[in-house]
Structure 1
Amino acid sequence: MKKFLIVGLGNIGPKYTDTRHNIGFKILDTFAKEEQATFETEKLGDVCQLKVKGKAVFLLKPNTFMNLSGKAIKYWMEKENIQLENLLVITDDINLDFGTFRLKAKGSAGGHNGLKDTQDKLNTSTYPRFRFGVGNQFSKGRQVDYVLGIWTLDEQKELTFRINDACNAIRSFVIAGLAQTMNNFNGKPEK
């Protein structure tokens, strides 16, 4: 049976729950809820196992904090013998407008410490990633405050729709593959 590891990046603890940096966790929480599955705390993270069209899907929210995400990803890939092309890492991206999706098969860490650590631990930059645009409405030197800040009221209204779209993109990745998912989901939200 084909296995997939879908990783949402974020930081553990209640103070981070509704921050932009935790969009990966938020998407996986919604996905698990839609699939009527629950997370269990296991080694290096909260893990949920479910099936999508007969394929085994593991959802992982690392509990290593963002900057050490690669350790948890590597552990679960090895433990479950998951191929690199069946990994999808979901993260926030300040270089994309709010709600914009960018799925890619490879790329640089783009200054994102969670992706940087993943690249270091996996020893490659060739793995599927799903960047969720959070915008860059911050002044010089305020990037950390921005990504660790909570969503604006306007963003919160749109967020539910975009998270639902993100869950559909995950299903598409598992069922149809990365190329088709990129064609169908990359870009800005439709108004």
Structure 2
Amino acid sequence: MRKKSTANRQVNASNNKSANGFIRIISGQFRGRKLPVKDVQGLRPTTDRIKETVFNWLMQDTRDAAVLDCFAGSGGLGFEALSRFAKRAVFFELDKSAASQLIQNISTLKLENATIKQGDSLALLANNSLDEQFDLVFVDPPFRQNLAEKSCLLLESNQWLTEQALIYVEVESELTSFTPPDNWLLLKEKSAGQVICRLYQREPN
């Protein structure tokens, strides 16, 4: 991706870019495996430190979960969940080269329970054509493009979530205006450098 960044450019916005073009799975059945990452402008795989925090929060909730990774990028969060025995995962990714790399990494891991949807995440969330719901959702959009709150509202309004779904949201630290849906309860929160990490649980209306 070499075009000028716009509000619809969706690649994973996490702590910092992998220096060697790989992400590492930190625990589970694929522990220690390294997966290549495309050199895509703006793609910043979630660091091991943040992943460790997030999955410590989710220690009792990942196994057998249906997972949606809304802004997949490197796929680090979704692959980590699958390594920890999530039932299945769907990855949304706009950038074609990043989506192609996700498909290759799924093949490398011989996963039969992972699906890639290449396209604009907001457009995909606006129309639940999958006609399915998810127990665990990762919302980790590009910084400073006003995507997190819009994504969360679409998740809630278009029935993407099971009754007590868990939603992990990662935004830039200077964003003070983020407001989740009214029925989402904040369970965990942590500031880590340039990002704020939050874990919510949906309470049925």
TM-score greater than 0.5 by the shorter chain = no
1 or 2, which has the higher strand percentage?
A: 2
TM-score (norm 2): 0.33
Q: Which has the higher contact order (CA 8 A, sep 6+)?
A: 1
1 or 2, which has the higher helix percentage?
A: 1
TM-score (norm 1): 0.34
